[in-house]
Structure 1
Amino acid sequence: MIPDINKINSDKKPLLVTLSLCLLLMVTGNRAVAQQQAFSYTQYMDNLTPFNPAYSLLDKAGSINTLARRQWVGVDGAPVTYLITGNLPIESINASAGVIVFNDQVAIECQTEANVYFAKGIQLDSRSILAVSINAGVRNYTANYSTLDATDPTFRNDVRGTKPNMGFGVMYYTDWYYLGVSVPELTITSLGTASVQDNTNFRNHYYFSGALITNVNEDIKFKPATLFSYAKGVPLTADISGIFYMKGTLGLGLNYRTDKEMSGILTLNINAFHVGYGYQFGTSSTNLGTFNNATHEISLSYRFGRWASDPKLL
Structure 2
Amino acid sequence: MQKLLLIVSICLLVIKVSAQQNPQYSQYMMNTYLINPAVVGIEDYTDIKTGYRNQWTNFEGAPTTFYVTAHLALDKPDRTSTGITPNISKTIRRPLTPSRQFDGSPRVPGHQGIGISLISDKTGPSSQVSLLASYAYHIPITGHSKLSIGASGGMTQYTLDFSNLQVKDNPDPAILGGGKITAWQPTINIGMWYYSRQYYIGASANQLLFQNYNYKSNTDNTSGYSWVGSVFPHYFVSAGWRQELNEDWAVIPSVLLKKVNLAPITYDINLKAIYNDRFWFGASYRNKDAVVALLGCNISSLINIGYSYDFTMSDLRERSRGTHEIVIGVMLNNRHRIICPQHIW
TM-score by length of 1: 0.80
1:116 aligned onto 2:146? no
Please name the residue that 1:127 is paired with: 144
Q: Deviations over 1:143-202 (max 9, x none)?
A: 12364269524646853100111121111112211111111321414136899xx977x2
Please name the residue that 1:245 is paired with: 274
State whether residues 40 and 134 of structure 2, in contact with CA within 8 Å, keep that contact through their aligned partners in structure 1: no
1:142 to 150, 159, 165: 159
Structure 1 residues 143-222: aligned runs within 5 Å: 143-145=160-162, 147-148=164-165, 152-153=172-173, 155=175, 158-191=180-213, 202-222=231-251
CA gap 1:224/1:199 in 2 versus in 1, 3 angstroms: farther
Q: Where does structure 2 lack aligned partners over 5 or more consecutive residues?
A: 1-18, 77-109, 217-224
State whether residues 303 and 328 of structure 2, in contact with CA within 8 Å, keep that contact through their aligned partners in structure 1: yes
1:232 aligned onto 2:261? yes
1:98 aligned onto 2:111? no
| Counterpart AA for 2:197 | D
| Counterpart AA for 1:179 | I
- The separation in 1 between residues aligned to 2:75 and 2:32, in whole angstroms, is 20
State whether residues 124 and 164 of structure 2, in contact with CA within 8 Å, keep that contact through their aligned partners in structure 1: no
1:107 to 105, 111, 124: 124
Following TM superposition, by how much is the alpha carbon of 1:310 offset from its aligned partner in structure 2, in angstroms?
4.2
| Counterpart AA for 2:276 | K
- The separation in 2 between residues aligned to 1:122 and 1:300, in whole angstroms, is 29
Q: Deviations over 1:199-223 (max 9, x none)?
A: 77x2111111111111122101111
CA RMSD across the alignment: 2.7
1:292 aligned onto 2:320? yes
Matched positions, count:
277
- The separation in 2 between residues aligned to 1:129 and 1:209, in whole angstroms, is 16
State whether residues 54 and 132 of structure 1, in contact with CA within 8 Å, keep that contact through their aligned partners in structure 2: yes
| Counterpart AA for 1:81 | T
| Counterpart AA for 1:269 | N
Please state whether the residue corresponding to 2:35 is helix, strand or coil. Answer: coil
Please state whether the residue corresponding to 1:49 is helix, strand or coil. Answer: helix
CA gap 1:199/1:220 in 2 versus in 1, 3 angstroms: farther
2:42 to 47, 58, 64: 58
Q: Deviations over 1:113-162 (max 9, x none)?
A: 01000010111121121100011100100012364269524646853100
- The separation in 1 between residues aligned to 2:319 and 2:174, in whole angstroms, is 30
| Counterpart AA for 1:303 | M
| Counterpart AA for 1:237 | T
- The separation in 2 between residues aligned to 1:62 and 1:212, in whole angstroms, is 24
Q: Deviations over 1:56-83 (max 9, x none)?
A: 3431212110000001113221110001
- The separation in 2 between residues aligned to 1:176 and 1:245, in whole angstroms, is 14
Please state whether the residue corresponding to 2:38 is helix, strand or coil. Answer: helix
Structure with the largest fraction of helix? 1
- The separation in 2 between residues aligned to 1:313 and 1:149, in whole angstroms, is 43
Structure 1 residues 273-292: aligned runs within 5 Å: 273-284=303-314, 286-288=315-317, 290-292=318-320
State whether residues 135 and 184 of structure 1, in contact with CA within 8 Å, keep that contact through their aligned partners in structure 2: no
State whether residues 203 and 235 of structure 2, in contact with CA within 8 Å, keep that contact through their aligned partners in structure 1: yes
- The separation in 2 between residues aligned to 1:119 and 1:252, in whole angstroms, is 30
Please tell me whether Structure 1 or Structure 2 has the larger radius of gyration of its CA atoms. 2
Please name the residue that 2:62 is paired with: 78
- The separation in 2 between residues aligned to 1:236 and 1:36, in whole angstroms, is 17
Q: Deviations over 1:251-298 (max 9, x none)?
A: 1010110123011010100112111100001135x445x323310001
CA gap 1:107/1:174 in 2 versus in 1, 3 angstroms: same
Please state whether the residue corresponding to 2:200 is helix, strand or coil. Answer: strand
| Counterpart AA for 1:46 | M
- The separation in 1 between residues aligned to 2:173 and 2:232, in whole angstroms, is 27
- The separation in 1 between residues aligned to 2:274 and 2:214, in whole angstroms, is 42
State whether residues 41 and 115 of structure 2, in contact with CA within 8 Å, keep that contact through their aligned partners in structure 1: no
1:69 to 48, 53, 62: 53
Please name the residue that 2:13 is paired with: none
Identity of aligned residues (%): 26
Please state whether the residue corresponding to 1:54 is helix, strand or coil. Answer: helix
CA gap 1:36/1:248 in 2 versus in 1, 3 angstroms: farther
- The separation in 1 between residues aligned to 2:312 and 2:156, in whole angstroms, is 30
State whether residues 20 and 232 of structure 2, in contact with CA within 8 Å, keep that contact through their aligned partners in structure 1: no
Please name the residue that 1:22 is paired with: none
